[in-house]
Structure 1
Amino acid sequence: MSSSPPAAPPRAGTDDRLVEQGPGVRSGLRDLPAHLNLSTVGAAVVATVFGCTGPALIIINGAGDAGLSASQTASWIFGVYVFGGLNSLLLALYYRQPIAGAWSIPGAVLVVDALGTFTLGELVGAYLVSGALVLLLALTGVLRRVMTWLPGPIIMAMIAGALVEFAIGVVEAGRAAPWIVTSALAGYLLVTRFSKKLPGVVGALVASAVAAGLTGAFVGIDPDTRLAVPALVVPTFDWGAVLAVSVPLTVLIIGAENAQATGALMAASYRPPINSMSLLSGLSGLAAAGFGGHTSNIAGPMTAICTSRDAGPEAGRYAAAVLNGILFIAFGVVSSVAVAFVTALPVELVTSVAGLAMITVLLSSFQGAFGSSRFQIGAFFALVIAMSGVSIAGISSPFWALLGGVTASLLLEFDQFRDRADHSD
């Protein structure tokens, strides 16, 4: 008996309002307790551990190398985590979708490099310009029109290519810490096979944590860790900083970070509120900049974790993003102390659990990219470019994957664009 081909990934919503209509915060809050269970809590914890370990160290190490004070470093972390967490709370509750907010990791790398050229005040001025640009683009509605126009298979291929590195990371981590990774795999497979209520990723987290404890892999915590108070940073404006930092940050937010999250939501059959995601990224980015935070946007990897089937039934996965947002806010408030505890986790534990959490998202993305006969050349280009991890002018591979995939399709599959336009309403 023949089976029908996989359904095409859903297009972004057709709501043309500046702020797309959603069920509302009251609805999200009312049903939230019913959706807080082992699946959603487990996904939220995994997303939080992923977002608060290696990424936080990029900021801490970069700030230390640039000679920033403890208060300035704490302010930077406060800005990106607190306002990123607020993005999660507002969007997940209002739309009842697992939309997770955070900040741009490639953007942090870009900023760390720029700290040797520009003052902190000049960088904050550049962050403000970037936030204003994102907000302006959202107000015009151009971002929603672009994401709606992009072929679904190309978006799905970009997501698959961008996230597959996390799955590959599990294999690489196995060489450095075989006992931890083997335990994570065993926990994931056994729980997935024999438990209908407990998600496999929770089994992976518990098993790998036990293995890390037995092998002494946890890192010691500095007893002299003290709470640092965040403070506002006075901006100054420099055209060099605007060109070198504001422009690539803006492209990263709209063309890489938010686009990844949009694709992850589409792969899980949601209709993401693209314009609202962009509007809030611009507004929260402006607020985060006041504390020295380089961005506040929607997070691709964390959204992918919260949208996975391990996070439970589709209707309740938004609870994972809500809890992830709460944990991010708490982390940002006490960041100078919390970092010491979170970074005590061995990197192989975080890598293996995060990679396993991506399995269902990757499967959906590959099926959405190559499950039909349309836009296959463009999807292939997008997949390969995203997998390469290439970064040009400080802009990471997801943006170039979309650009390369669409360019290839326009040149070699233009008839499919024309057919789609002819059949559109």
Structure 2
Amino acid sequence: MLLKDMSVSAIVAGFVAVLVGFASSVAIVFQAAAAAGASSEIIASWLLALGIGMAATCIGLSWYYKAPIITAWSTPGAALLAGSLQGLSIAEATGVFIFTAALGLIIGLSGMFERLTRLIPPSLASAMLAGILLQFGFAIFQSMQSEMLLVTIMCISYVIAKATVPRYAILLVLVSGLVIVIAGGQLDLSHLELSITRPVWVSPEFSLSAMLGVGLPLLLVTMASQNIPGVAVIRASGYQTPVSPIIVSTSLSTLLLAPWGAFSINLAAITAAICTGTEAHPDTKKRYIAGIAAGVSYLIAGLAGATVVALFAAFPQTMIAALAGLALISTIASNLQTTTADPDYREAAVITLLVTASGISFFDIAAAFWGLIAGLITVLVQKIGQRFIST
């Protein structure tokens, strides 16, 4: 069954998802670890633990549900930790990770998160996701200002491939980008060294102030900025996989791997959209291969640690930005269509889209959460107004 469903496009989608995820946010993970005073060995162990956890959940969940379930570390969570772990020891930070994972596990087992997601209208969920992804679409053309030739060739490759061999569009975009980068001498491999990462155990220390001051915000940010958009990606692609078991799996993985540095393993949003779209495979039943491929890529990245990070860092950021944006165009289009499809929720959905796309952030919680809140409040006010008028 696995070999029969395997395709180059799905494998490439999984690899691109990991490439984009690592290249776009691994520096923030480094900053978070450094804020707690982690040594270079411990930082490498963080990447190993995260890689193993994300690999296990991607492969296991995608295989079991036959759907592309993509997990990731919490980038907003890493940013929060980078600004909140100052003054804490690495042992206290580990205690925070265990505390947050335990709370996430309770939420998953209780079914609270799944009941919450069912209350969100599909139009609003799609609008929130579109608002997040628009920034990546804009980045394609913003990248042209600094790398006109590279990004233009990638865009031309995308348009031609989508018209002729749509299944391999992102692969051809990746190859065209690599050709231009190598030909232009922009691929810097001078700092690349082969090495295997070793796990480093850190015995946790539990500080009440750290758990309340850092652990609770980390939980809220992860649930609001990662898991809710992650569920929106899954639902928007037509998969009806149960949410609670996924939250349980990611939280349990975090809990078990926290002493080695797994600060938060959760549903992916941006990178998940790369694996759930038509570019991964036209048949929705065969896109789960992209999830398994992403898991294998995560495992290799975690084991190789600093080597893989150096490899990803060798690619120009403009290439990564253009690659991510082009891989998400179809997903952006389908979510924009769903956003305005239902006239009863159209205005609320557009408000959700605008607030999310604005990038505002309050209390260290990302715009996606506030966009959803604004949309839900609009729906509530409209329903109250309609009842008032009808009476």
Shift of 1:331: 0.7
Does structure 1 conserve the Cα–Cα contact (< 8 Å) formed by 2:35 and 2:86? no
Does structure 1 conserve the Cα–Cα contact (< 8 Å) formed by 2:197 and 2:303? no
Alignment counterpart, residue 251 of structure 1, candidates 193, 216, 220: 220
Q: Are the structure 2 counterparts of residues 143 and 285 from structure 1 closer, same or farther at C-alpha, using a change threshold of 3 Å?
A: same
Alignment counterpart, residue 400 of structure 1, candidates 365, 370, 375: 370
Alignment counterpart, residue 185 of structure 1, candidates 149, 155, 158: 155
Shift of 1:390: 2.1
Shift of 1:190: 1.1
Does structure 2 conserve the Cα–Cα contact (< 8 Å) formed by 1:87 and 1:297? no
Q: Are the structure 2 counterparts of residues 405 and 223 from structure 1 closer, same or farther at C-alpha, using a change threshold of 3 Å?
A: closer
Shift of 1:50: 0.6
Alignment counterpart, residue 125 of structure 1, candidates 84, 91, 95: 95
Q: How does 1:75-154 map to 2 (within 5 A)?
A: 75-154=45-124
Q: Are the structure 2 counterparts of residues 187 and 128 from structure 1 closer, same or farther at C-alpha, using a change threshold of 3 Å?
A: same
Alignment counterpart, residue 211 of structure 1, candidates 180, 204, 208: 180
Q: How does 1:278-289 map to 2 (within 5 A)?
A: 278-289=247-258
User: 1:23 maps to which residue?
Assistant: none
Cα distance in 2 for partners of 1:184, 1:145 equals 42
User: 2:344 maps to which residue?
Assistant: 374
**Residue range with higher mean Cα deviation, 241-250 or 125-134:** 241-250
* One-letter identity of the residue aligned with 1:206: V
Shift of 1:376: 2.0
Q: How does 1:17-416 map to 2 (within 5 A)?
A: 31-64=1-34, 67-195=37-165, 198-222=167-191, 226-312=195-281, 313-414=283-384
Cα distance in 2 for partners of 1:392, 1:246 equals 17
Cα distance in 1 for partners of 2:193, 2:343 equals 60
**Structure 2 unmatched runs, 5+:** none
**Residue range with higher mean Cα deviation, 267-276 or 151-160:** 267-276
**Structure 1 unmatched runs, 5+:** 1-30, 419-425
Alignment length (residue pairs): 387
* One-letter identity of the residue aligned with 2:349: A
Shift of 1:65: 6.3
SS in 2 for 1:234: coil
* One-letter identity of the residue aligned with 2:224: G
Shift of 1:83: 0.3
**Residue range with higher mean Cα deviation, 56-65 or 319-328:** 56-65
* One-letter identity of the residue aligned with 2:377: T
TM-score (norm 2): 0.94
Does structure 2 conserve the Cα–Cα contact (< 8 Å) formed by 1:86 and 1:101? no
TM-score (norm 1): 0.87
Cα distance in 2 for partners of 1:225, 1:275 equals 39
Q: Are the structure 2 counterparts of residues 138 and 223 from structure 1 closer, same or farther at C-alpha, using a change threshold of 3 Å?
A: closer
Percent sequence identity is 26
Query: Where do 4+ consecutive residues of structure 1 move more than 6 Å?
Result: 415-418
* One-letter identity of the residue aligned with 2:190: I
Q: How does 1:1-16 map to 2 (within 5 A)?
A: none
Q: Are the structure 2 counterparts of residues 416 and 34 from structure 1 closer, same or farther at C-alpha, using a change threshold of 3 Å?
A: farther
Cα distance in 2 for partners of 1:228, 1:324 equals 19
Cα distance in 1 for partners of 2:257, 2:229 equals 21
**Residue range with higher mean Cα deviation, 44-53 or 60-69:** 60-69
Does structure 2 conserve the Cα–Cα contact (< 8 Å) formed by 1:99 and 1:261? no
* 1:321-346 per-position Cα deviation (integer Å, ceiling 9, x unaligned): 11101110111112122211121111
Cα distance in 2 for partners of 1:132, 1:33 equals 37
